[in-house]
A and B are shown apart, each in its own frame.
Chain A
Amino acid sequence: MSSGYTPALMELIKKVEATRPARVEKARKGEHFPALTMEQRQEWLKKYHPDYKNDGRRQVIVGPNKGTVLPEEVASLLESKSRINPANFDLSRADYTTDLLVIGAGGAGTAAALAAQEAGLKVLISTKLRHGDSNTVMAEGGIQAADQEGDSPYFHYLDVIGGGHFSNQPELVAAMTNDAPLIIHWLESLGMMFDKMPDGRMKVRHGGGTSRKRMHSAGDMTGAEIMRVVRDEARNRTNDIKLLEFTPAVEILLDENGRAAGAVLYNLETKEYYIVRAKAVLIATGGFGRLHIQGFPTTNHYGATADGCVMAYRAGVRLQDMDSTQYHPTGAIFPEQNVGLLITEKVRGLGAQLLNTEGEQFCFPLEPRDVESACVIRECLEIGKGIVTPTGRFGVWLDSPMIDMLHGEGTVRKELPAKYIQFKRYDIDISKVPMLIYPTLHYQNGGIAINEWSETSVEGLFSAGEVAGGVHGRNRLMGNSLLDVLVFGRRAGIRAAEYAKGNNPSGKVTLSHVDNFNKEIDKAGIKDPGVGPILLPDYAPDHVRERQVG
């Protein structure tokens, strides 16, 4: 009984069931749907992958990246006007004064705060939601580091740069892979509950594109455990690390010499603006999933709206690879409450196939992530054989019941406990009926350009984590992002401490870069520019919005 599906969908599932025995039979014999050739891959990607499609993208016409072709959503955000009118601000006052201002309290921001505090700084953290409401908390899979005897940072480096199609910035890759064991050790010393053997050896697994088993985990909530632990430690240091929740930054302040000197924060509840003076500023605001590029659902948390990119851009910092987005091929689209939820690659690894509305296979299930996504999009949009859900979403079947048939009764429950429960909650037993999936927006590959010490082109302005680009090039491997945010977060904290100690800002601060940017927008003739950063996405339905007009 799987009453979680509507009768209409149950009717369609019969078609899947009809073709299943023959498909399982073939799979047992090792016969697969043919994989695409290298040429077809390129063609499919060009035609159907959102990154390659030309509609939905255009040149951005203002700012440091002027002329770069970017997704419409990113381009218009970069061409948005400030939320504030600089003329309304008396910049001679300061509501807060600190050594380091950290913007964003996910993994990167918190790691930076701890490192800077250890180096003697006073830290103020501005964050949009609560401490730890972030993408970091959502990571399930694991974190990479070369700490086993048969592995070394050398091989980790090769895996990262190969996975990124050699488009990564080599210095960043070297810094990350070299520091990785230090990060795991640091987390261990903070009391993180890693999955270990009885003798203390780390349990490690392979991930997509790894040559060595180096994926460390804490159950299937690695990111949540990391976040809990670093946040708890920050809470033990409240004398030096102050936190402002629901108070996002909206603009960076510069001093007369063009160095970062603080930020304007916005209290989401009282709607007040605050001025923070700081000797150094770190942008660690995470990714852009909630921009819903080309309408895609996302796995990201509520606050993933690219605010950091917008602020840095107006302060004159160049962004890189912002046209490169990681879509995970299998995001849930049904039931509505699971939309965007990540369905791990493991499901396909265990033999589940992708099927159209006729119950037919249309692609090899283990193509690279980007290619697989293109195949699903093609089947729905071009071929028109997608399944439409009651809430108007498109998708295809992921035939999970095959797994038990191939590997024995109970395999789904044993190997995929979290997913099993997440669907069971809604009366869908994925060991008996298939799931509905569609690609989902997962990760911002590009971002703020930094060097191996997390420094941007603006003096005193640092950036780390998903908001920064270059580490993973145009494609990130699983398990390297949690690592990236902690490595470059800590590096930012350490370097900011060195920088802040020698820097005694006395001069005036200014928002003239914001003024100038607003003028540039007017000059470029952009009609109806939006307002950015957007801070929170708006999900009010149209019938409500219509009545909100007074």
Chain B
Amino acid sequence: MAEDKKLKTLATGDKTIPPEGAKMIPIYIMGREYMVPETLTIMKAVEYAGYSYVRGCGCRGGICGACGTFYRFLGDYRLRSGLACQTVAEPNMVIMQLPFFPANRPGYDLENMQGNPHEELRRLYPEVFKCVGCGTCTRTCPMDIDVMDYIALMKRGDLRGAALKSFDCVMCGLCTSRCPAQISQYMAAMFVRRVFGKFILPKAEHLSKRVEEVKSGKYEKKLKELIGMKQEDVKKLYVEREREPDLAEAGKWMPKDTTNL
């Protein structure tokens, strides 16, 4: 019996099982009051209240940006924001998730881009240059990104700076929903990061070389041999393989036996 009980407690998956005597707190989901156990995330609190997500829930791990949420505390004028899967529900929170918000995303052809990247940015997203510097986006961002700053860097033509500054963006769209200049910051940033990755970051030459080798079929014969080999022989090769030292300098280290390179 004791065994049973143990396993039962364990078998919770993602469903919340509040402990006996758990403290219950009031939260307001789109204005309606529910009592939920404390310490849950907004997402799990909403599920505890009985909602089943279709929209507004993706990775449940703070990286997909599906669960952007606005909230206030009763009696407090401040509007706050966060990711529902990462923000702890607190007493008297008044919650509204924003599962979708329209954003502007003009299409473009990265492969055949005309003109310099900064001009292209201006052509695609002229609104970026109308930022009024209010800082609302930065205050809103659940990833603590200085959004206003990356917009400023874009305006100045520092695409490298803007790409690096916006790198942690989960594309939740909360900044965009609040921008008085109607800028879709995260979409412009996506364009800038790809431009940076393709045209500004130097290319990996060793990679292009390896691609030529692969395309010429250089490894096919060796791989075929491995496929056809008896398991014992593959095991032997596996056990005998040489390990590159952790601190070896990339591109400099060579194995003793170079026949299989």
- A182 pairs with B211, CB closer than 8 A: yes
Q: Do B248 and A392 have beta carbons less than 8 Å apart?
A: no
Residues of chain B lying within 8 A (CB to CB) of residue A174 = 223-224, 226-227
Number of inter-chain CB pairs below 8 Å: 299
| Contact call A391/B16, Cβ cutoff below 8 A | yes
Among residues of A, the one whose C-beta sits closest to the C-beta of B215 is A182
Asked whether, in the complex, the Cβ of A148 is within 8 Å of the Cβ of B250, the reply is: yes
When each residue 302-321 of chain A gets 1 if its CB lies under 8 Å from chain B and 0 otherwise, what string results?
11000000000000000000
Would A537 and B14 count as touching, CB distance under 8 A?
yes
A201 touching B250 in the complex, CB below 8 Å, given contacts A158-B237, A171-B227, A337-B40: yes
- In this assembly, does B190 line the interface, its C-beta being within 8 Å of a C-beta of chain A? yes
Q: Is the CB of B260 within 8 A of A536?
A: no
Cβ–Cβ contact B16 & A336, under 8 A? yes
Query: Nearest chain B CB to A214's CB is how many angstroms away?
Result: 9
As a 0/1 sequence over residues 169 to 210 of chain A, the CB contacts with chain B under 8 angstroms (1 = contact) are: 011001001110110110011111110111111111010000
- For A166, what are the chain B residues with a Cβ–Cβ distance below 8 Å? 231, 234-235
B104 to nearest A CB, angstroms?
12
| A147-B207, A201-B251, A425-B86 as given contacts; A246 in contact with B12, CB under 8 Å | no
Please tell me the size bucket of the interface on A: 35 or more
CB-CB under 8 A from A391, the residues of chain B are 12, 16-19, 22, 37, 39
| Segment from A30-38, A109-117, A126-134 that makes contact with B | A126-134
Q: Check A193/B250 contact, CB under 8 A, given A206-B244, A295-B13, A337-B86.
A: no
B71 interfacial contact with A, CB 8 Å? no
Q: Contacts A152-B261, A196-B201, A336-B16 given; 19 further ones with Cβ under 8 A?
A: A130-B55, A130-B64, A133-B64, A134-B58, A134-B59, A138-B61, A138-B63, A149-B254, A162-B235, A174-B227, A191-B197, A194-B201, A219-B168, A224-B63, A294-B11, A302-B58, A392-B12, A393-B9, A538-B52
7 A–B pairs (Cβ distance < 8 Å), ordered by A:
A150-B251, A151-B261, A159-B241, A188-B197, A301-B59, A340-B60, A541-B47
The 7 closest A-B pairs by CB, nearest first: A295-B11, A200-B202, A191-B194, A133-B58, A292-B13, A191-B198, A191-B197
Q: Which residues of A contact B (CB under 8 A)?
A: 129-130, 132-134, 137-138, 146-155, 157-159, 161-162, 166, 170-171, 174, 177-179, 181-182, 184-185, 188-194, 196-204, 206, 211-213, 219, 221, 224-225, 228-229, 232-233, 235-236, 238, 246, 268-269, 290, 292, 294-299, 301-303, 335-337, 339-341, 380-381, 388, 390-394, 422, 425-426, 536-541, 544, 548
